[in-house]
Amino acid sequence: MWSDPRTRARLGRLVPPVGRRVDAVSDCLFCRMVAGEIPADVVHQTDRVLAFRDINPQAPTHVLVIPKEHHATAAALVAVDPGLLGELVAGAQTVALQEGLVTDGGTEPGYRLVTNTGPQAGQSVHHVHFHLLGGRNLGWPPG
Ligand code: 5GP
Ligand code: ZN
């Protein structure tokens, strides 16, 4: 479906052409952090993934895990590079291990990984990011 040119045209700039590298967006906060123009408290990175502490933490551990390439949402990312979505989840697990939120091979005490999409979910930065939250009991359902 994503490779259908008509679908891609409908989705417009959210979905860049398959296989094409996505350029940094100059007015995107997270692209500017990736570029080093805005400081970030980095806790983990690979060549394609960056993880840094949220400026307004909602839990003892609150880390944002982002692709270094600009994609607006998880759906936009998975349409062009599903492997990179997997690298984000792996990056989050690496940080969770570092932060003592899980042990190698275990799931305790645990953490939450969440990505907000769109205004009703409260997405305020339009560069896909996973919130990695842990270090306290997290209520469910979320607010
Ligand atoms: P969203 O609301 O899009 O799901 O999440 C955006 C997150 O980015 C928020 O949790 C917010 O606190 C965080 N944030 C906004 N500006 C900055 C910043 O300049 N530095 C850092 N480290 N986090 C930020
Ligand atoms: Zn960006």
pLDDT tens digit sequence for 35-54:
999 999 999 999 999 999 99
pLDDT at 32: 97
Name which residue leads in pLDDT, 81 or 19.
81
pLDDT at 9: 41
pLDDT at 21: 57
Q: How far is CA 63 from CA 33, 55, 131, in A?
A: 14, 9, 6
pLDDT at 65: 99
Kindly give the distance from the C-alpha atom of residue 4 to the centroid of ligand 1, in angstroms, as a whole number.
33
Q: Which of 34, 53, 54 to mutate to test the pocket of ligand 1 (most atoms within 8 A of CB)?
A: 54
Q: What percent of the chain has pLDDT over 70?
A: 85
Kindly give the distance from the C-alpha atom of residue 137 to the centroid of ligand 2, in angstroms, as a whole number.
31
Q: Can you give the pTM of this predicted structure?
A: 0.88
